Amino acid sequence: KNKTEKYAEKKKRMMCIELKKEIIEKHDQGVRVVDLAKQYECSTSTICTLLKQKESIKAIMPAKGVKIFSKQRTSIHENMEKLLMVWLTEKQLAGDTVTEAIICEKASGEPFKASRGWFKNFKKRTGIHSVVRHGEAASVDMKAAEEYLKTFAGIIAAEGYIPQQVFNCDETGLFWKKMPRRTYITAEEKRMPGHKPMKDRLTLALCANASGDCKIKPLLVYHSENPRAFKSYKILKEKLQVMWRANPRAWVTRQFFVEWVNLVFGPDVKNYLQENNLPLQALLILDNVPAHPPNLEEDILEEFKFIKVLYIPPNTTPILQPMDQQVISNFKKLFTKHLFRRCFEVTESTNLTLREFWKDHYNIVICLRIIDMAWQGVTKRTLTSAWKKLWPEVVSETDFERLEPEAAVVEEIVSLGKSVGLDMDEGDINELIEEHSEELTTEELKELQTQQHTEVLQEIGDAEEAEEVISTSEIKEMLGMWEKLSDLFQKKHPEKVATGHATALFNDTCLTHFRNILKGRTKQTTLDRFLSKTPHSKVEFFLVPMIVFVTKGT
């Protein structure tokens, strides 16, 4: 054989880390070495060598999506790429443009320098997409925006849409427990052991029409499905003023967004149009982010097919997206104002200090009430004026000129803050509002990575329902089905990165529970077999000294 054929054959034999772990797991479940060798088309010596290294292999946690683990790749590379994948997912979900240069710059650091070769291999390993090769994308923003304005005007004229029928929706992050950086509350939280700032984030999808008289119930995504405060306040999620959904990253996913369109947006818009005797047609304006499926119209239920969807081109959101034109900023300032007012009212009418209120009496239920007040407080004038760039005809000059300055809201927040003993100024408040959109730090990325597992485990621990007994055969059947399904997802689904993250998350948070049950039963079975096959005299020989030792030790 020539060198090329030998190399191709060697490369074909390389095992990905997931495959090695799969073989180890099957062996732990009782599959024989010879059967594993046949199933995976390799020698028994290869399987034995792999099993000898199983503890070190189990300890390896490659970046999600990384398929090949070689000796040249150190733990530093692995840790860096794991965090890089978390960061990339955050950027993609936020709809941000990411270039090769930006990724290489993010990945570089002592002692590693990201090169073009590394990027090429990283892209191949992880299957990342939507990466702009060169950095000229931003330069076409204005041109794309100008073209879109013509397209939008043409659609409005052709279909005869009026402001009441045209809606815009956009997502925003909200760090609902953040205080301005210079306050003693923030300083104290940073010193607290185990403080997890990422846990304080939630994501909101806000939506309203161009006439500003129809606000849709927001979609809210949090990291916990059933927060502890819900039990204390006996909260029914169906009656909340938001549509409540949860995942470990508190991100709006495609599934959540489609559910919101069919369960909230569609019914609300239909009722609004019928109550106002308006034609049953509507247009929903969205930006191009992964949470907004390009084929969303296909997923809309039959009774809401009167809703059409129009997407804003990439890199034009800051210029054209109505919700980005001070609506979200205004909402966050109103949220902060109502929060500080709550702090003032509670500390004034009780013996609680601000620290005590913040630590023990400000929870997600109180936050939801404040979110509702802030969203209701966004005025019709603010919502209408947000369309000035995309649809200037719907905004009267008098309304735009009479728009209440946000500076007044900020002044009120500062005044309330000082009333409860916080030292801050307008700059601190504006900085706090901007922090909601800040890029995550390395520490926050690490926290976000570990949070996926801890939150689900905590909820399992808090569950009051009795655990249903499941047989060993059922567990094995379930694990087998999952292996087949995950393989199909990886092979057939076009979104490799998103699918990789989703399957890895499900695998880690859900199936680990059943694998641990199986592992415990396997150990128990082994012990039972030993006891049943060993003569009583030998059993006593082993157990009696152990009992004596334990008793003396106690």
**CA torsion angle for 397, 399, 404, 406 (degrees, to 10)?**
-60
pLDDT tens-digit profile, the chain (554 residues): 554 454 344 444 456 777 888 888 888 888 888 888 888 888 888 888 888 877 767 665 554 444 444 444 566 677 787 778 777 766 665 556 677 777 887 877 766 777 777 777 777 676 665 555 444 444 447 888 999 999 999 999 999 999 999 999 999 999 898 888 777 766 666 665 444 544 578 999 999 999 999 999 999 999 889 998 999 899 999 999 999 999 877 889 999 999 999 999 999 999 999 999 999 999 999 998 878 888 899 999 999 999 999 999 988 888 899 998 889 999 999 999 999 999 999 999 998 989 889 888 899 999 999 999 999 999 999 999 999 999 999 997 655 544 456 788 999 999 999 998 888 888 888 888 887 665 566 666 666 666 545 544 554 454 434 344 678 888 888 888 888 888 888 788 877 766 776 777 677 667 777 877 777 676 555 545 544 444 444 433 333 333 333 333 33
CB proximity list for 405: less than 8 A, separation 6 or greater: none
**Beta strand 215-222 with 201-209: parallel, antiparallel or unpaired?**
antiparallel
Structure-block tokens of residue 362? 């400000």
Task: Give pairs for 547-554: CB < 8 Å, separation 24+.
Answer: none
DSSP state of 109: B
Q: Which domains does the chain have, with CATH numbers?
A: 12-60 (1.10.10), 140-435 (3.30.420.10), 466-554 (no CATH)
